[in-house]
């Protein structure tokens, strides 16, 4: 399959929104639907980091690494699995 230029442009735009920790939630609507899994993963990581990591500054550093990893996956065209409502064991 040959991707069009728009495919790469969309992926790049979605990755930039993921990388921007200051981006408001409204910017998420600009991204492509397949990046929804990345946002769910980022939201979950944010909640865990806020509760579990006690060292000041460490949550922000961890989330920077996670954001970059998710952005790279998005740019590369990887589709992250979507979480089920109610957690990973919901049916």
Distance between CA atoms of residues 85 and 21, nearest Å: 24
Distance between CA atoms of residues 49 and 67, nearest Å: 13
Give the model's pLDDT for residue 35. 76
pLDDT in tens, the chain (91 residues): 667 888 888 888 888 888 888 877 666 655 667 677 888 888 889 899 989 998 988 999 999 999 999 999 988 888 776 655 555 544 4
Distance between CA atoms of residues 13 and 19, nearest Å: 10
DSSP assigned state of 79: -
Q: How many residues does the chain have?
A: 91
Predicted TM-score of the model (pTM): 0.72
Got the DSSP string for 3-15? --HHHHHHHHHHH
């Amino acid at each position: 399959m040959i991707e069009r230029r728009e495919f790469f442009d969309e992926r790049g735009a979605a990755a930039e929104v993921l990388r921007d920790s200051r981006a408001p939630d409204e910017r998420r609507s600009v991204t492509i639907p397949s990046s929804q899994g990345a946002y769910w993963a980022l939201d979950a990581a944010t909640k865990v980091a806020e509760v579990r990591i006690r060292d000041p500054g460490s949550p922000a550093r961890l989330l920077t690494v996670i954001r970059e990893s998710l952005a790279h996956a998005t740019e590369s065209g990887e589709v992250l699995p979507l979480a089920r409502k109610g957690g990973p064991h919901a049916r």
